[in-house]
């Protein structure tokens, strides 16, 4: 049965109106659903709907992205601001499609036995995208991207660049020297990053102007929605704005539960032993460092705020591998896997 994520605001009087162009393209142009066909819908907030395509569903069209017929070649050459581009934007509304579904059954997805928050250091873009997908499939409730001392990337506004050429969403972060200066490796056009005052030792502050990342946030959210749709999950995890590691620790939820910090920076107890001593739990927070791990000062800072350093065995795992391993183990212990 086809499955789509819907906007809960589009549920009215026993019917669902699907207007999202990606969902429409998937249902009408790819799956070619017809009148009376069953469709499963989830609203991302925990509610599911069993529905069927209503009478008078719009006919399938050969369409471009978003349900818009492809423009002639000469129009496709026109960029933003050109006459052809303006005309194409104006024609969008005339080709907007809507699919109505009649609700047959509905209900609430059972709450997970364990609410997990993943505090993940920013890693290479493609790996972070992959991790958002897998964390969603493994039932994470909240994902909090953070910057650490050893993060090799940082989030920028627009445009954003990485070493080796333009990339969307990230660029390398200059490494501080022994004296704490960021001059070595800094981009010529960048202002000297300023560190906040009054922060505990071991905390890492984000340089000024690194919080405008709407493009990457939208991508992460889209990946989470698609992963929830694929795995049959009725809830979509919340994804926080990236902040400095110390800020994420200070923004912990009222009930963070068991706070696990897999690291090689300091000796840690085995994950199995720590979870076994804890017994039953309803919430947990998992702190995962970047490719170079947390620093000893960051580990000490986290410990002062309740984190427990743990070992994941004798093998050195990639950041995203460590995250998936811990999440899978926690869900197994909670009876979700």
Question: How many C-beta atoms lie closer than 10 Å to residue 136's C-beta?
Answer: 25
Q: In the 3-class helix/strand/coil scheme, how is 91-123 assigned residue by residue? A: HCHHHCCCEEEEEEEEEECCCCCCEEEEEEECC
* Residue 83 pLDDT class (50, 70, 90 cuts): low
Over residues 282-298, the mean pLDDT reads: 94
Radius of gyration of the chain, Cα coordinates, nearest whole angstrom: 23
* Residue 135 pLDDT class (50, 70, 90 cuts): very high
Q: Where are the domains of the chain?
A: 3-108, 115-333
HSE, CB side, 13 Å, CA atoms: give it for residue 32: 2
Q: What is the dihedral of CA 199, 242, 168, 238, to 10 degrees?
A: 180
Instruction: Please indicate whether residue 171 or residue 257 has the higher confidence score (pLDDT).
Output: 257
Rounded to the nearest integer, the mean pLDDT of the chain is 76
CA distance from start to end of the chain = 23
Instruction: Please indicate whether residue 176 or residue 52 has the higher confidence score (pLDDT).
Output: 52
CA-closest candidate to residue 119, choices 263, 258, 253, 289 = 289
- The answer to pTM > 0.75 is no
How confident is the model at residue 176, as a pLDDT?
A: 39
Burial of 191 (0-12, 13-18, 19+ CB in 10 A): exposed
Domain topology for 3-108: Ribosomal Protein L25; Chain P (2.40.240)
Report the C-alpha gap between 122 and 209 in whole angstroms.
17
Answer yes or no: is pLDDT of 78 > 70.
no
Report the C-alpha gap between 324 and 90 in whole angstroms.
45
- Written as one string, the DSSP assignment of 207-220 is PTT----HHHHHHH
Helix (H) or strand (E) holding 330: helix 319-333
- Give pLDDT tens digits for 218-269: 899 999 999 998 888 999 999 998 999 999 888 766 667 899 999 999 999 9
Instruction: Please check whether the two domains, 3-108 and 115-333, share a CATH topology.
Output: no
Answer yes or no: is pLDDT of 93 > 70.
no
The domain at 115-333 falls in which architecture? 3-Layer(aba) Sandwich (3.40)
Quick check: bond before 253 cis, omega within 30?
no
């Amino acid at each position: 049965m086809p499955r789509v994520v819907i906007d809960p605001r589009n549920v009215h009087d026993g019917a669902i109106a699907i207007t999202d162009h990606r969902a429409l393209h998937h249902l009408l142009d790819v799956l070619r659903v017809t009148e009376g066909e069953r469709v499963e819908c989830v609203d991302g907030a925990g509610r599911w709907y069993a529905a069927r395509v209503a009478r008078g569903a719009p006919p399938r069209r050969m369409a471009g992205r978003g349900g818009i017929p492809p423009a002639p070649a000469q129009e496709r050459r026109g960029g933003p601001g050109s006459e052809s581009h303006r005309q194409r934007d104006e024609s969008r509304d005339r080709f907007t499609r809507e699919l109505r579904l009649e609700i047959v059954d509905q209900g609430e997805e059972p709450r997970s036995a364990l609410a997990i928050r993943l505090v993940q250091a920013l890693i290479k873009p493609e790996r972070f995208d992959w991790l958002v997908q897998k964390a969603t499939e493994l039932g994470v409730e909240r994902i909090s991207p953070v910057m650490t001392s050893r993060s090799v990337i940082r989030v920028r506004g627009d445009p954003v660049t990485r070493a080796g050429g333009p990339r969307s969403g990230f660029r390398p972060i200059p490494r501080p020297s022994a004296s704490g200066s960021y001059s070595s490796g800094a981009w010529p056009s960048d202002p000297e990053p300023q560190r906040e005052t009054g922060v505990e030792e071991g905390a890492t502050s984000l340089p000024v102007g690194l919080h405008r990342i709407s493009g990457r946030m939208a991508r992460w959210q889209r990946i989470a929605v698609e992963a929830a749709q694929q795995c049959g999950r009725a809830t979509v995890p919340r994804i926080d704005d990236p902040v400095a590691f110390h800020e994420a620790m200070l923004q912990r939820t009222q009930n963070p539960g068991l706070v696990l910090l897999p690291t090689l920076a300091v000796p840690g107890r085995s994950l199995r032993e720590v979870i076994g001593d804890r017994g039953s739990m309803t919430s947990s927070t998992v702190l995962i460092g970047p490719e170079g791990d947390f620093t000893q000062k960051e580990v000490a800072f986290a410990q002062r705020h309740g984190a427990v350093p743990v070992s994941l065995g004798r093998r050195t795992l990639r950041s995203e591998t460590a995250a998936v391993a811990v999440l899978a183990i926690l869900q197994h212990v909670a009876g979700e896997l």
